[in-house]
Chains A and B, each alone.
Chain A
């Protein structure tokens, strides 16, 4: 399985997982000049920006460990763009992270949701 396919599959799974947990998905793969946010959703009143990370196995560390400070900065900037475009700058917001670990083809080992994963 190629990396892109793995990532897309992971995002689909994450979106389904979030819906099942009461999130309302507003956008997928929101893109602007600064970068991309995988999923934008509403958790009750709070606007949530979700980064999905997928790994084919756990041998090289957990997926969420790969969100470094630069990635956070990117996400933050894109989040501001989204808020600005939709007039939501004052809305309570949060950054969540979903990490999906596969064990071989199509075989999901674990899905983990980390709420309030980081702060700007």
Chain B
């Protein structure tokens, strides 16, 4: 007999329909799975056999053929177990085929018939919302994740037996109530706060500007000056995620299998800090089983690259396109996938291999060619995409021992929020949402400067050796500074602060 059960597969961060067709015929007993299935899917045969037997069902010693249609997309993972098991029961006449009509089943079976949580439930549920299906059955462990979506009935089942009895009408499974995404009750960053960092007023202000305008940042300074600590606290001053952003970021984490336990929603901006040995595929995504990389996991958040020149060159160069477009396209012979990757890049590096080139006290041992080689590892095109350069000096004793605490993150975030609101109003109707994304034409249109300011800018270009490339950047940063100050026009003081953030354009003496 033939039976058909509907399931879903996840491609990128979208879900696709997969029909699990089961045919049971007489003959020598065998169990074959066809339809471009990977090892984990082929192994589902042994899981399904045991799960059926241990749930009290008879397993037919017949010739069983399973087809996962359409046959041209790769099927990965164990999430088809439930659909396969139900298909076998239906084809064997133990479960009426019509009972499963219009329902979608996803779940991994354990040998005792329990349903184990799977990855990618959120994209599956979002893809099915308002599609008119009767319901989606998922493992109970995924119920909170699926509860983020409204517009469909989700049933969270504990085991195979429960699912079957539910379909037969003998048992009840309550539908998962849609909660929708809501931010954590706990205030942002209770554990870390900007006031933890002593001194470094200039850097803190720089990061505030970066957060307000969505600018990418590069921090240069000797070891131990607090670059990492500052970067980690950047997410505490970024505006809170909107509901849509939360869902998008959670989707990526769901596909990567990073949602587990009580953590079913990414409600804070992610902070990703890959080690500098990260591979190309680890950073931008890909690999033999296509997975989102660090840049996608940092979607709507911060990607922090510590020791920037130590990263593999090809990995860094691959960042260029996502930095521009906000998404990454991974093309393989068989398929091409798109992952969103809209992140703020924060990079940190030492000024030279020994680290003490700019330190006033410690002597630097590096020769100029060595320093040159070190700095040249970071390519021009990548630097071009980084608006703000911050020098992080090592702390003086007085600042270290001082009792004075800086501003709290909450206070800074208030100003950032205000600046972001101003930008949103200004760019309404455009695809731009913050100053960092202004093109050169937009810069001309939106960054009007007064006479005094243009004089200063002219002086900077002539005297300080500010490059043409730097000109646009200065204007954009100045726009953000003006937004922070609540000013509609850009004045000289905004320009002069902005020039400070372009230290790599000026000759530092490197």
Contact yes or no, B27 A94, CB < 8 A:
no
Within 8 A of B (CB), among A33-49: 46
Contact yes or no, A94 B61, CB < 8 A:
yes
Q: What is the chain B residue whose CB lies nearest that of A118? A: B29
**Which residues of the other chain, B, contact A95 by a CB distance below 8 angstroms?**
29
Cα-based distance from A83 to B26 in the complex (angstroms) = 11
- Does B197 touch A at the CB level, under 8 Å? no
Q: What is the chain A residue whose CB lies nearest that of B31? A: A119
Contact yes or no, A119 B26, CB < 8 A:
no
| A105 shortest CB reach to chain B, Å | 37
Within 8 A of A (CB), among B7-30: 25-30
Cα-based distance from A78 to B27 in the complex (angstroms) = 13
**Which residues of the other chain, A, contact B61 by a CB distance below 8 angstroms?**
46, 92-94, 116, 119
Contact yes or no, A116 B29, CB < 8 A:
yes
How many residues on chain A are close to B (CB under 8 Å)? 15
Contact yes or no, A76 B25, CB < 8 A:
no
Q: What is the chain B residue whose CB lies nearest that of A116? A: B61
Cα-based distance from A64 to B317 in the complex (angstroms) = 60
**Which residues of the other chain, A, contact B29 by a CB distance below 8 angstroms?**
93-95, 116, 119-120
**Which residues of the other chain, B, contact A93 by a CB distance below 8 angstroms?**
26-29, 61
**Which residues of the other chain, B, contact A76 by a CB distance below 8 angstroms?**
28
- Does B62 touch A at the CB level, under 8 Å? yes
**Which residues of the other chain, A, contact B26 by a CB distance below 8 angstroms?**
89-93
- Does A97 touch B at the CB level, under 8 Å? no
Tell which of B25, B28, B62 has the most Cβ of chain A within 10 Å.
B28
Cα-based distance from A91 to B62 in the complex (angstroms) = 9
Q: What is the chain B residue whose CB lies nearest that of A119? A: B29
Q: Chain A binding site: helix, strand, loop or mixed by DSSP? A: mixed
Contact yes or no, B31 A90, CB < 8 A:
no
- Does A80 touch B at the CB level, under 8 Å? yes
**Which residues of the other chain, B, contact A92 by a CB distance below 8 angstroms?**
26-27, 61-62
Cβ contacts A85-119/B at 8 Å (1 or 0 each): 00001111111000000000000000000001001
Cβ contacts B22-43/A at 8 Å (1 or 0 each): 0001111111000000000000
Contact yes or no, B30 A120, CB < 8 A:
yes
**Which residues of the other chain, B, contact A15 by a CB distance below 8 angstroms?**
none
Q: Given A92-B62, A93-B61, A116-B61, verify A79-B28 contact (CB < 8 Å).
A: yes
**Which residues of the other chain, B, contact A46 by a CB distance below 8 angstroms?**
61
Q: What is the chain A residue whose CB lies nearest that of B25? A: A90
Cα-based distance from A105 to B121 in the complex (angstroms) = 64
- Please pick, from A89, A91, A116, A119, the residue contacting B30 in the complex, using a CB distance under 8 A: A119
Q: Given A46-B61, A116-B61, verify A91-B27 contact (CB < 8 Å).
A: yes
Cα-based distance from A80 to B61 in the complex (angstroms) = 16
Contact yes or no, A120 B25, CB < 8 A:
no
| A40 shortest CB reach to chain B, Å | 13
**Which residues of the other chain, A, contact B30 by a CB distance below 8 angstroms?**
119-120
**Which residues of the other chain, A, contact B25 by a CB distance below 8 angstroms?**
90
| B274 shortest CB reach to chain A, Å | 44
Cβ contacts B57-83/A at 8 Å (1 or 0 each): 000011000000000000000000000
Cα-based distance from A90 to B24 in the complex (angstroms) = 11
Contact yes or no, B31 A89, CB < 8 A:
no
| A67 shortest CB reach to chain B, Å | 15
**Which residues of the other chain, B, contact A119 by a CB distance below 8 angstroms?**
29-31, 61
| B202 shortest CB reach to chain A, Å | 71
Contact yes or no, A90 B28, CB < 8 A:
no
Residues of A within 8 A of B (CB): 46, 76, 79-80, 83, 89-95, 116, 119-120
| Contacts A90-B26, A94-B61 known; 18 new A-B pairs at CB < 8 A | A76-B28, A80-B28, A83-B28, A89-B27, A90-B25, A92-B27, A92-B61, A93-B27, A93-B61, A94-B29, A95-B29, A116-B29, A119-B29, A119-B30, A119-B31, A120-B28, A120-B29, A120-B30
Interchain Cβ contacts under 8 Å between A and B, 17 examples? A76-B28, A80-B28, A83-B28, A89-B26, A89-B27, A90-B25, A91-B26, A91-B27, A92-B27, A92-B62, A93-B27, A93-B28, A93-B61, A94-B29, A94-B61, A119-B31, A120-B28
